[in-house]
Structure formats: C-alpha cells, structure tokens
Amino acid sequence: MYKCPSCQARTIGLVSKWAARETSPARCRICGELCFVSSVRSSGIFVASVLLLTTSGFLAVGTHSPLLFAAGLVGVFGFYAARWHAVPLEPIPHAHVIPGTKAGALATLFVVLQSMSQ
C-alpha cells in the first residue's frame, strides 16, 4: 500500500496507483481525497522501459544471445516495477479532475498490447 498524499495513510494499492491518472484518480478510503500519477511521469516510465527493452533486443541480436534478451527482459521488468514503486502520488482536488473514464487507461493499454502483437 502507498501513502495517500493528503492524509499520509497507506490506503492506495499498487494497481490503483498504476491506474491513477488525471482522468481517473485513486480515492483514499480514509479521507476520500483523490490522488494521481502525472501523465508525464507515467509516460516517462513507459518510454524508458520500451527503450531499454529495444536496446536489450538489439544487443541480443547483435551477440546472438537469447539469454541476453531474457536478462534484459527481467531487467526492464525490474526497472518498470521499481519506478512505479518510487513514483510519487500527487493530490488532485475533486474539481480539477479531467473528465474521462477509467476505460481510457484500459483502452490505452489495449492499443499498446495490440500494437506489440503485430
């Protein structure tokens, strides 16, 4: 559980933190305030992870070493998890929530996964 930036209670779960955006912030069960991870930070983690994975893929192909790619994959997963663990939650007033739906984050994930499978 992660600390609510408003009341400091550990009420925000990992999945809630991962999905918390300006359009679909996480809600603290204690104080009811909203918090989110900024799109700049979440996009930065995603882009850095993709770049690291691509780099490990090129290194694996260049050295003909599938083990290098597997090690890179594990390393990228570790990097992604560590960055999401460390990224701060920011409070957002109820009035500042950008209208949207939680389906937006899922739709983005679906598009990314679909583009990776082609």
Would you tell me which residues interact with Zn ion (CB under 5 A)?
A: 4, 6-7, 28, 30-31
Which sign does the torsion angle of CA 67, 69, 75, 80 carry? negative
Map residue 22 onto helix, strand or coil. Answer: coil
Closest approach, Cβ 101 to Zn ion, in A, equals: 23
Phi, psi (deg, nearest 5) at residue 12: -100, 115
Which residue, 11 or 56, is less far from Zn ion as judged by CB?
11
Cα distances (Å, whole numbers) of residue 10 to 2, 6, 48? 5, 11, 28
Closest approach, Cβ 83 to Zn ion, in A, equals: 23
Distance CA 102, CA 26 (A): 10
Which residue, 40 or 95, is less far from Zn ion as judged by CB?
95
Closest approach, Cβ 9 to Zn ion, in A, equals: 5
Which residue, 7 or 112, is less far from Zn ion as judged by CB?
7
